């Protein structure tokens, strides 16, 4: 099957197969009037329409961009998708002045979602996850990371990851699954967190690996959760399982998480609100991608990640939703792109690179995803907007008109095909 995307005002894309950093963070290239030719799953041509017609036969199918903007499909490199239950009561309490930490200390927070997720059946959790994938696709996400971490016991962690495996079979959005039994110390192990670390390493990880349910591992390294030393132990076997390492680092205070991510050879570290200059420099040296989560800052009414310091130091920056019921309840990459600009201080070009090529790099997929270029997989979004700047500038509405995943139209005029 061949598909021609024509009629765009502009094709806007980063280029290359590696994350862009420093002065290249905002290297979004513009191809006015270009067409995109897909052959099978991949992109065969991006450029002048007349040159296309000279080189290629008529396509099997045409998708009319109607003056819109063509972008790479968004890659959401950090979510907690398979969860059950909601925490809108906490939302009210936070609006009335309570902090996230106070709510967690009073028995709310992550443990509330753990209880609901443990209780949910496989089918319930699958339905919830598929619904969230629909919302991601409707807002232009073509690949998403998704993690366990609301089970915190063997069976419930496996349930979350098996739900992701089944969802990936059923849904066009590509899923990168991450094992995160070290998201929190479960209530039953609060008296002995060391034993829980031991249990994760000796039983939970091996069971996840034996079923091939994950390709990444993540740990919440934070005061009151897992210490840097525990994090090192939790990640000691990552290489043996061939898992890429991600970290939740320096969210609430500077525990040295950014430096630890560099030390451990992590692909990415997320949050980083309190990352130190030394930690940031270490990330730059090792090429660790910084995943900023501006939805969390907005939702919890906290400061934003130091994106200017990260870009200035040469750390490649990606942006993600962190979709979860407690600290960032959104599936929308356009929403967090707008917040990355208006809250954190990225330019709109930098934020789009963060949501595409750099996010793909965080997931080890920059060779195949994250840009609209010949040879890459044909994952493409058509916006109902005359320039890529509108993604952040025209905020709070859904501009996504069409979505193509692996050469197939999966959303046309906002409707699933």
Residue 129 CB, nearest approach to Fe ion (Å): 16
Residues in a beta bridge with 39: 2, 42
Q: How far is CA 366 from the centre of its chain?
A: 13
Residue 220 CB, nearest approach to ligand NIG (Å): 5
Task: Find which of Fe ion, ligand NIG, none residue 220 binds, CB within 5 to 8 Å per kind.
Answer: ligand NIG
Could you tell me if 326 and 110 are in contact, meaning their C-beta atoms sit under 8 angstroms apart?
Answer: yes
Q: Which is nearer to ligand NIG, 27 or 300 (CB)?
A: 300
Q: Is 171 a residue that touches ligand NIG (CB under 6 A)?
A: no
Stretch of 26-34, 210-218, 324-332, 382-390 lying at the interface with ligand NIG (CB under 6 A): 324-332
Q: How far apart are CA 162 and CA 142, in angstroms?
A: 20
Which of 220, 243, 298, 304 is the binder for ligand NIG (CB under 6 A)?
Answer: 220
Residues sharing a CB contact under 8 Å with residue 40, sequence separation 6 or more, in sequence order: 1, 2, 407
Crossing angle between the packed helical segments 122-138 and 154-170, to the nearest 10 degrees = 50
Q: Which is nearer to ligand NIG, 143 or 327 (CB)?
A: 327
Residue 173 CB, nearest approach to Fe ion (Å): 18
* Residue numbers 108-137 binding ligand NIG by CB under 6 A: 109-110, 113
Q: Which is nearer to ligand NIG, 109 or 186 (CB)?
A: 109
Q: Which is nearer to ligand NIG, 248 or 365 (CB)?
A: 248
Task: Find which of ligand NIG, Fe ion, none residue 251 binds, CB within 5 to 8 Å per kind.
Answer: ligand NIG
Q: Which is nearer to ligand NIG, 20 or 180 (CB)?
A: 180
Q: What is the 3-state secondary structure (H, E, C) of the chain?
A: CEEEEECCCEEEECCCCCCCCHHHCCCCEEEECCEEEEECCEEEEEECHHHHHHHCCCCCEEEECCCCEEEECEEECCCCCCCCCCCHHHHHHHHCCCCHHHHHHCCCCHHHHHHHHHHCCHHHHHHHHHHHHHHHHHCCEEEEEEECCCCCCHHHHHHHHHHHHHHHHHCCCEEEEEEEEECCCCHHHCCCHHHHHHHHHHHHHHHHHHCCCCCEEEEEECCCCECHHHHHHHCCCHHHHCCEEEEEECCCCCCCHHHHHHHCCCCEEEECCCCCHHHHHHHHHHCCEEEECHHHHHHCCCCCCCHHHHHHHCCCEEECCCCECCCECCCCHHHHHHHHHHHHCCCHHHHHHHHCHHHHHHCCCCCCCCCCCCCCECCEEEECCCCCCHHHHCCCCCCEEEEEECCEEEEECCEEC
Residues in contact with Fe ion, shown as a per-residue x/- string from 285 to 324 under the rule CB under 5 A? -------------------------------------x--
Stretch of 40-48, 193-201, 301-309, 323-331 lying at the interface with ligand NIG (CB under 6 A): 323-331
Residue 224 CB, nearest approach to ligand NIG (Å): 11
* Residue numbers 329-358 binding ligand NIG by CB under 6 A: none
Stretch of 22-30, 41-49, 135-143, 321-329 lying at the interface with ligand NIG (CB under 6 A): 321-329
Residue 366 CB, nearest approach to ligand NIG (Å): 23
Which of 82, 257, 326, 334 is the binder for ligand NIG (CB under 6 A)?
Answer: 326
* Residue numbers 231-260 binding ligand NIG by CB under 6 A: 248, 251
Which of 296, 319, 320, 352 is the binder for ligand NIG (CB under 6 A)?
Answer: 296
* Residue numbers 57-76 binding ligand NIG by CB under 6 A: none
Q: Which is nearer to ligand NIG, 110 or 156 (CB)?
A: 110
Task: Find which of Fe ion, ligand NIG, none residue 145 binds, CB within 5 to 8 Å per kind.
Answer: none
Q: Tell me which residues touch ligand NIG (CB under 6 A).
A: 109-110, 113, 220, 248, 251, 296, 322, 324-327
Q: Tell me which residues touch Fe ion (CB under 5 A).
A: 322
């Amino acid at each position: 099957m061949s598909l021609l995307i024509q009629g765009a005002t502009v094709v806007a894309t980063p280029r290359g197969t590696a994350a862009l950093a420093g002065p290249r963070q905002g290297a979004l290239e513009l191809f006015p009037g270009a067409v995109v030719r897909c052959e099978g799953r991949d992109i065969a041509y991006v450029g002048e329409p007349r040159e296309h017609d000279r080189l290629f036969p008529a396509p099997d199918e045409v998708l009319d961009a109607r003056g819109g903007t063509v972008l790479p499909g968004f890659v959401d490199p950090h979510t907690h998708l398979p969860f059950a239950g909601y925490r809108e009561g906490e939302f009210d309490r936070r609006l009335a002045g309570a902090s996230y930490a106070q709510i967690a200390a009073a028995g709310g927070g992550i443990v509330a979602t753990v209880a609901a997720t443990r209780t949910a059946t496989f089918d319930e959790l699958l339905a919830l996850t598929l619904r969230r994938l629909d919302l991601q696709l409707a807002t232009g996400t073509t690949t998403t990371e998704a993690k366990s971490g609301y089970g915190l016991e063997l069976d419930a962690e496996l349930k979350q990851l098996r739900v992701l495996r089944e969802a990936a079979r059923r849904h066009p959005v590509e899923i990168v699954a991450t094992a995160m039994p070290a998201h929190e110390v479960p209530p039953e192990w609060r008296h002995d967190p060391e034993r829980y670390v031991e249990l994760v390493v000796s039983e939970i990880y091996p069971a996840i690996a034996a079923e091939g349910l994950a390709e990444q591992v993540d740990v919440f390294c934070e005061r009151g959760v897992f210490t840097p030393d525990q994090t090192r132990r939790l990640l000691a076997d990552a290489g043996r399982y061939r898992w890429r390492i991600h970290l939740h680092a320096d969210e609430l205070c500077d525990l040295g998480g950014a430096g630890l991510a560099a030390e451990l050879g992590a692909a990415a570290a997320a949050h980083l609100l309190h990352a130190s200059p030394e930690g940031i420099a270490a990330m730059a040296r090792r090429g660790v991608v910084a995943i900023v989560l501006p939805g969390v800052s907005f939702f919890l009414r906290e400061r934003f990640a130091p994106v200017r310091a990260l870009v200035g130091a040469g750390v490649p920056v990606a942006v993600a939703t962190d979709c979860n019921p407690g600290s960032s309840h959104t599936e929308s990459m356009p929403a967090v792109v707008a917040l990355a600009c208006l809250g954190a201080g990225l330019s709109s070009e930098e934020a789009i690179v963060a949501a595409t090529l750099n996010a793909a790099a965080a997931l080890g997929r920059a060779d195949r995803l994250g840009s609209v270029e010949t040879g890459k997989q044909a994952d493409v979004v058509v916006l109902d907007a005359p320039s890529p700047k509108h993604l952040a500038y025209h905020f709070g509405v859904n501009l996504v008109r069409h979505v193509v995943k692996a050469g197939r139209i999966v959303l046309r005029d906002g409707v699933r095909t």
